[in-house]
């Protein structure tokens, strides 16, 4: 049985003092869950988040990283920098980064490799636009994105990658994919991984759903056969909402 992984993506929100109070309040509310709990926070909050989460079951992730180790890349943060302070996870290829910051399948692939090289677990985002969905290309798009993101990884690395299927039209819009649609897309991604890396790998890989997941729709989504967790934006900024999603099965 795959575990459920509930990850918050704070995006560009929260100052250090808010980070400390949010995690302090959240920790006792999620301490008894058997689900994995991750918060992906802005770079400037990482250190505070790591300190506050010490001794709890909350893991900390970043929202991006550069693929190079070091050098003349003003403003960038490398995988080794993240790992050196104790970060465990990193979101790679979020649709907002693809859309606004020129992230491509190629840079995503380089970043995923660099993440593993530095002992970070990548949460790789894939997802189609509304236009792509309406023209019947969604499955092709998301399976291609997945294949390209994972290119050159070992089977074990693929099995340890978390994939977040996030239909772009559902992010921050209040629109969620139906439970069946989300499950169907995730099945297609798993099938592609099975074709390339075999069934053992495809049955181990965690594939989350993301896009307007909230306490009112989380349980139904998370109970679907192939949805192994959620990547949660807006609802991860409120202790009540995020803890309710983490505790969907309690
Ligand atoms: P949302 O964001 O939950 O606010 O739709 C999800 C995401 O972008 O990861």
Task: Look at residue 97 and tell me whether its pLDDT is greater than 90.
Answer: yes
Q: What are the start-end ranges of the H helices in the chain?
A: 16-30, 43-53, 79-84, 95-100, 105-117, 130-134, 138-150, 155-159, 179-197, 199-204, 215-222, 239-246
The whole-number pLDDT of residue 167 equals: 97
Q: Which atom of ligand 1 is nearest to the CA of 214?
A: 3
**Nearest CA-CA partner of 123 in 144, 94, 87:** 94
Rounded to whole angstroms, the Cα distance separating 230 from 139 reads: 19
CA 51 to chain CA centroid, Å, is: 22
Closest-CA residue, ligand 1 atom 2, reads 233
> How confident is residue 123, by pLDDT bands cut at 50, 70 and 90?
very high
Task: Look at residue 131 and tell me whether its pLDDT is greater than 90.
Answer: yes
Mean pLDDT rounded to a whole number for the chain: 97
Rounded to whole angstroms, the Cα distance separating 197 from 191 reads: 10
Token pair listed for 109: 């692939």
- pTM (2 d.p.): 0.97
- Give mean pLDDT, residues 158-186: 94
> How confident is residue 176, by pLDDT bands cut at 50, 70 and 90?
confident
Please list the active-site residues: 94, 166
Q: What are phi and psi of 89, to 5 degrees?
A: -125, 160
Which residue among 165, 231, 245 has the greatest number of ligand 1 atoms within 8 angstroms of its CB, and so is best to mutate? 231
Q: Measured in angstroms, how far is the CA atom of residue 226 from the centroid of ligand 1?
A: 19
Bridge partner list, 8: 39, 232
Residues having CB closer than 6 A to ligand 1 are: 9, 166, 171-172, 210-213, 231-235
Rounded to whole angstroms, the Cα distance separating 107 from 101 reads: 11
Closest-CA residue, ligand 1 atom 6, reads 233
CATH of 5-246, one of 3.30.930.10, 1.50.10.10, 3.20.20.70, 3.90.1170.20: 3.20.20.70
pLDDT in tens, 193-221: 999 999 999 999 999 999 999 999 999 99
- Give mean pLDDT, residues 115-132: 97
> How confident is residue 177, by pLDDT bands cut at 50, 70 and 90?
confident
For β-strands 36-40 and 5-9, DSSP reports them as parallel
Q: Where are the domains of the chain?
A: 5-246
């Amino acid at each position: 049985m795959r575990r459920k992984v509930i990850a918050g993506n704070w995006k560009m929100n929260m100052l250090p003092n808010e980070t400390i109070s949010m995690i302090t309040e959240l920790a006792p509310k999620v301490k008894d869950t058997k689900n994995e709990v991750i918060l992906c926070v802005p770079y400037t909050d990482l250190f505070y988040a790591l300190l506050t989460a010490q001794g709890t079951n909350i893991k900390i992730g970043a929202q991006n990283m550069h693929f190079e180790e070091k050098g003349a890349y003003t403003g960038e943060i490398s995988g080794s920098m993240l790992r050196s302070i104790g970060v465990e996870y990193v979101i790679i290829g979020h649709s907002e980064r693809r859309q606004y910051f020129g992230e491509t399948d190629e840079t995503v692939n380089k970043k995923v490799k660099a993440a593993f090289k530095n002992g970070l677990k990548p949460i790789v985002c894939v997802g189609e636009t509304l236009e792509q969905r309406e023209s019947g290309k969604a499955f092709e798009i998301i399976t291609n994105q997945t294949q390209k993101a994972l290119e050159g990884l070992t089977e074990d690395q693929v099995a340890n990658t978390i994939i977040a299927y996030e239909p772009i039209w559902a992010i921050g819009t209040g629109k969620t994919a139906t439970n069946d649609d989300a499950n169907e897309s995730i099945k297609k991604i798993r099938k592609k991984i099975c074709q390339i890396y075999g069934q053992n790998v495809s049955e181990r890989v965690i594939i989350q759903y993301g896009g307007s997941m909230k306490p009112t729709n989380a349980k139904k989504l998370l109970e679907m056969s192939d949805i192994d967790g959620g990547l949660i934006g807006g609802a991860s900024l409120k202790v009540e909402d995020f803890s309710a999603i983490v505790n969907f099965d309690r």
